[in-house]
């Protein structure tokens, strides 16, 4: 016989034992429901946090490359959507279709206003490069008296309309966004802080349709993102009139640019977090009243149990006293 059983048998009869009543339906389902709610909430929050952080740990940021003194460098990778292709309209009137595209741009200052711009492009069936002498005029890169969209003056006013490039008979105007954006790079989930500039549908000097959506470093004004289509005096130097079909996203850049690269979660994980928070917010008006009713019922039942125990104890005391008086 264990000490526990011996102790229980010794005190049995001296203290009233609370009767074990069958569990009510409410009590039988209360614990599983509470356990399910807590487990679901914890699992959802844990999964959301895991999805929120997981991609950021596995992928390296855009590469920071060494550059020569007084030189800045950016490299882009062409990103396509679905089954599209890049279309290169060449200056000789022909066109090339490609699934892959890379582009580099660098600018080296030679004096206070003089510089050398270098551009390369590689894709399926076409590659070319060129170095062109240019100048910096009011913070803008100018090649052969024509502004280039690869470098602009970043000191612009929000909602301001600016001229990206122009010739004697043509110009491409665009509007500066009201706030600085976080444009995507070629390496998800990293993004780069950029001054966003967009144009409405227009036409190039030779009549091709063009619609630019560009991102610039807010400090230096160098191009860090291009979407939709692209036409520029530097592209013409390598024989390209217009580039269509996809976006150019940052792959690497020189260390002297000091770009602000941020690590943001993919849109799907943010949607998961918002969904869980939304479910919790919507469920609160139902969970709180139910929890209050359950707590009220539990407390009321405990009070009834305590009152019944006290009544039994009083009855036992009265019976004992009566027995003592009668000598039983």
In a domain, 15, yes or no: no
The pLDDT, as a whole number, for residue 55 is 36
| Cα dihedral value 62, 65, 69, 75, nearest 10 | -60
In a domain, 115, yes or no: yes
The pLDDT, as a whole number, for residue 78 is 95
Give the C-alpha separation, 322 to 88, whole Å.
110
The pLDDT, as a whole number, for residue 179 is 86
Give the C-alpha separation, 36 to 5, whole Å.
36
The pLDDT, as a whole number, for residue 196 is 95
23 or 263, which is more confident: 263
In a domain, 169, yes or no: yes
Of the ranges 72-76, 246-250, 302-306, which one carries the lowest mean pLDDT score? 302-306
Of the ranges 103-107, 170-174, 246-250, 261-265, which one carries the lowest mean pLDDT score? 261-265
pLDDT at position 90 over 90: yes
User: Region 203-210: what's the mean pLDDT?
Assistant: 88
Mean pLDDT of the chain: 79
Residue 46, classed as helix, strand or coil, is helix
Domain enclosing residue 152, as ranges: 63-264
220 or 9, which is more confident: 220
User: pLDDT digit string (tens) for 141-150?
Assistant: 999 999 999 9
In a domain, 305, yes or no: no
The pLDDT, as a whole number, for residue 111 is 84
The pLDDT, as a whole number, for residue 40 is 55
In a domain, 315, yes or no: no
pLDDT at position 210 over 80: yes
- pTM for the model stands at 0.66
Give the C-alpha separation, 318 to 312, whole Å.
10
Closest CA to 263 of 179, 181, 180, 188: 188
21 or 80, which is more confident: 80
Strand spans (E) along 212-298: 212-216, 223-230, 240-244, 247-254, 261-263
pLDDT at position 324 over 60: no
How would residue 66 be classed by pLDDT, with cut points 50, 70 and 90?
confident
| Tally of structural domains, the chain | 1
In a domain, 17, yes or no: no
The pLDDT, as a whole number, for residue 53 is 43
| Cα dihedral value 178, 182, 183, 188, nearest 10 | -160
In a domain, 317, yes or no: no
User: Region 167-180: what's the mean pLDDT?
Assistant: 89
Residue 146, classed as helix, strand or coil, is strand
How would residue 45 be classed by pLDDT, with cut points 50, 70 and 90?
low
In a domain, 236, yes or no: yes
User: Region 197-207: what's the mean pLDDT?
Assistant: 89
């Amino acid at each position: 016989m264990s000490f526990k059983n011996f102790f229980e048998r010794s005190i049995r009869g001296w203290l009233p034992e609370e009767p074990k009543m069958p569990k009510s339906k409410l009590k039988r389902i209360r614990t599983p429901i509470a356990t399910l709610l807590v487990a679901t909430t914890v699992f959802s929050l844990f999964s959301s946090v895991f999805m929120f952080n997981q991609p950021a740990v596995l992928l390296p940021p855009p590469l920071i490359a060494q550059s020569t003194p007084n030189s800045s460098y950016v490299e882009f990778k062409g990103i396509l959507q679905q089954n599209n292709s890049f279309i290169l309209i060449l200056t000789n009137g022909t066109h090339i279709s490609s699934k892959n595209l890379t582009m580099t741009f660098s600018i080296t200052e030679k004096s206070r206003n003089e510089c050398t711009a270098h551009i390369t492009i590689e894709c399926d069936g076409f590659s070319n490069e060129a170095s062109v002498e240019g100048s910096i005029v009011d913070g803008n890169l100018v090649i052969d008296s024509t502004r280039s969209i690869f470098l602009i003056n970043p000191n612009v006013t929000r909602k301001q309309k600016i001229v990206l490039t122009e010739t004697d008979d043509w110009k491409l105007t665009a509007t500066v966004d009201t706030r600085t954006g976080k444009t995507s790079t070629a390496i998800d989930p990293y993004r780069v802080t950029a001054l966003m500039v967009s144009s409405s549908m227009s036409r190039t000097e030779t009549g091709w349709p063009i619609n630019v959506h560009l991102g610039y470093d807010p400090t230096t004004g160098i191009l860090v993102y291009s979407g939709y289509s692209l036409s520029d005096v530097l592209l013409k130097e390598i024989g390209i009139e217009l580039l269509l079909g996809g976006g150019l996203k940052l792959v690497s850049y020189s260390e002297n640019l000091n770009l602000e690269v941020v690590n943001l979660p993919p849109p799907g994980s943010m949607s998961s977090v918002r969904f869980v928070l939304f479910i919790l917010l919507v469920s609160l008006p139902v969970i709180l009243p139910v929890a209050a009713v359950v707590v009220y019922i539990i407390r009321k039942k405990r009070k009834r149990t305590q009152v019944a125990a006290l009544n039994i104890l009083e009855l036992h005391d009265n019976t004992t006293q009566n027995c003592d008086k009668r000598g039983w």
